[in-house]
């Protein structure tokens, strides 16, 4: 069994192959060894999904961040970026960070697209519950 160190080129696509010249089966009748082909399979991670050169992620925010707007740190493949959440943003809306996606292999990059997911707390403290009750009393908002 042989072990190989393989450099994966930036921007390689799912199902593309990397050829290791002369590392395949021995040639017949004294011929050169064949080439070893390695097929690349790119899996989505827990945080990112790849479509073309764009990366997709979920950005989970609180109801008050959605209602009031906020600046939030968003994880990217290069670290973190601060994104602005506009007042009144809705679940399912998307924020696009240009040139923060997957490399295209030609010096460019796709975008990072963050889909907003408004998360509601499952367990409320008494104070939180009182605030939601007060909001229910004073709000005229009805999405239906």
**Helix, coil or strand: residue 18:** strand
Confirm whether 143 is domain-assigned.
no
* Domain shared by 110 and 62, yes or no: yes
Q: Of 48, 51, 114, which is closest to residue 82 (Cα–Cα)?
A: 114
According to DSSP, residue 139 is labeled -
Q: Are residues 23 and 67 in the same domain?
A: no
The number of domains in the chain is: 2
pLDDT at 10: 85
Q: Are residues 79 and 95 in the same domain?
A: yes
pLDDT at 129 over 90: yes
Q: What is the pLDDT of residues 25-83, one digit of tens each?
A: 888 888 898 999 999 999 999 999 999 999 999 999 999 999 999 999 999 999 999 99
Check residue 70 and give its pLDDT: 97
Q: Does 139 fall in a domain?
A: no
Distance, in Å, from the CA atom of 74 to the CA atom of 54, rounded to the nearest integer, reads 16
pLDDT tens digits for 72-115?
999 999 999 999 999 999 999 999 999 999 998 888 999 999 99
- pLDDT (tens digit per residue) in 6-21: 999 888 989 999 999 9
Q: Which two tokens stand for residue 16?
A: 């593309």
37 and 54 co-located in one domain: no
134 inside domain: no
Domain that holds residue 11: 1-42
CATH number at residue 77: 2.60.260.20
If one counts every other C-beta atom within 10 angstroms of the C-beta of residue 121, the result is: 11
Q: Is 85:61 a contact under the CB 8 Å cutoff? A: yes
User: What pTM value is reported for the model?
Assistant: 0.82
Cα–Cα distance measured from residue 51 to residue 78, given in angstroms and rounded to the nearest whole number:
18
Q: Are strands 36-39 and 17-20 parallel, antiparallel or unpaired?
A: antiparallel
């Amino acid at each position: 069994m042989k072990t190989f160190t393989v450099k994966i080129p930036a921007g390689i696509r799912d199902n593309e192959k990397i050829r290791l010249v002369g590392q395949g089966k021995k040639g017949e009748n004294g011929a050169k060894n064949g080439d070893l082909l390695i097929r690349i399979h790119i899996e989505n991670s827990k945080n990112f999904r790849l479509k073309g050169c764009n990366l997709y992620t979920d950005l989970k925010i609180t109801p008050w961040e959605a209602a009031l707007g906020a600046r939030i740190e968003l994880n990217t493949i290069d670290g973190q970026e601060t994104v602005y959440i506009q007042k009144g943003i809705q679940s399912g809306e998307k924020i696009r960070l240009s040139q923060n996606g997957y490399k295209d292999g030609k010096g460019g990059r796709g975008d990072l697209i963050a889909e907003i997911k408004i998360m509601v707390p499952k367990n409320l403290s008494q104070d939180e519950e009182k605030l939601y009750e007060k909001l229910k009393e004073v709000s005229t908002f009805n999405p239906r």
